Amino acid sequence: MEKKPHFVRREFLPREVPSISLALLLAAVLLLNALLYLYLSKFYNSLGRVETDPGLCPFGHFKFGGVKNCSPWLSCEAINREVRKLKCVGEGAVKKVFLSEWKEKKVVLSQLTNSELKEDFLHGLKMLKALQSKYVVRLLGYCEQQFTILTEYHPLGSLRRLNETLHIPKYKGMNTWHRRLMLAIDYVSVIRYLHSSPLGTLVMCDSNDLDKVLSQYLLTSDFHVLVNDLDALPLVNRSAGRLVKCGHRELRGEFVAPEQRWPYGEDVPFEDDLMPPYDEKTDIWKIPEVSNFFLGHVEGSDIVRLHLFDIHAACKKKDPVERPSAQEVLDTYRKVLTLLIREAAMPGTREML
């Protein structure tokens, strides 16, 4: 009598294998999502800077260079006695900047050079004191009588040198689309902070061209952005009907916002009294150009630009009211970063499913 072949196992095997494979794939996706969540949390907290900075001290105090305890801002007497100038590293219309030394640590000493601009200098000092945060260069001391300000030193200098820095062998590993996007996020975070500062809505007026904007910010050694120059930071107060004008001269060029340009044509000579004031949305207009500089021309940067196209188009609306807030721009930048990191971590997952 012939035995019938047993096909039971062969019938079920093809169905079981895909089920197991799908279960394993889903488990892998869940695990990758969990790891991605932990990575992004760490990314924002350590690289993207959390909202509360443990390095900050109470008002009127500072600490840096690994020191645990906070010290009072240095007084005129302490600056004269303990700070030693090393060399001049820069000079602008308002002040001269010296690389200096304090207790074997490098610091920056800024001194007024033009007595006619002392009000600008003192305004910058006032802003520096009031806005101390993770977004602003650290104040170490000042002397109003001698028009002197002492701040923390950042050896990588201003953002104008970003591309040069990223070509140094030590920092070539930082020259990636996600690191560059993080710098753009830092920049927009500073703008957001200024627009919602403890003092009210502040406008970054020293920003009439890209080079000028970049000169106002520092690149830290751990690759973050700090605003450094706060001499031209007027206050918008809509409830009091107070808008601003960035200086008393005519502004030209596509970099400045349309409302900052003389609206009455070339046939009418510029008069400051006739120039209409404006608000903080001038800063929003300039974000796309600044971010384009940050993104550079590395692999992946064009993909980032594509994802930012809509928000940048909104920043360029001629009517300031139609432009997004700095918070909306920042939220979009963060979403794009998260999306692109997720896609980079799990390529082809959607197709597999």
Query: In the predicted model, is pLDDT for residue 25 greater than 80?
Result: no
Which amino acid is residue 353, in one-letter code? L
Instruction: Give 157-197 as a DSSP string.
Output: -BGGGHHHHHTSGGGGGG-SHHHHHHHHHHHHHHHHHHHTB
- What's the pLDDT at 128? 96
How far apart, in whole angstroms, are the C-alpha atoms of residue 203 and residue 53? 23
Q: Taking the model in full, what pTM does it have? A: 0.84
- What's the pLDDT at 67? 80
Task: Find, among 164, 187, 193, 204, the residue nearest to 287 by Cα.
Answer: 187
Ramachandran angles phi, psi of 160, nearest 5°? -60, -25
The domains of the chain, with CATH numbers, are 70-153 (3.30.200.20), 154-346 (1.10.510.10)
Report DSSP state, residue 203.
-
* Cα separations in angstroms, 166 against 272, 296, 298: 42, 11, 11
Rounded to the nearest integer, the mean pLDDT of the chain is 88
- What's the pLDDT at 52? 46
- What's the pLDDT at 173? 93
* Cα separations in angstroms, 65 against 103, 108, 150, 242: 11, 14, 15, 41
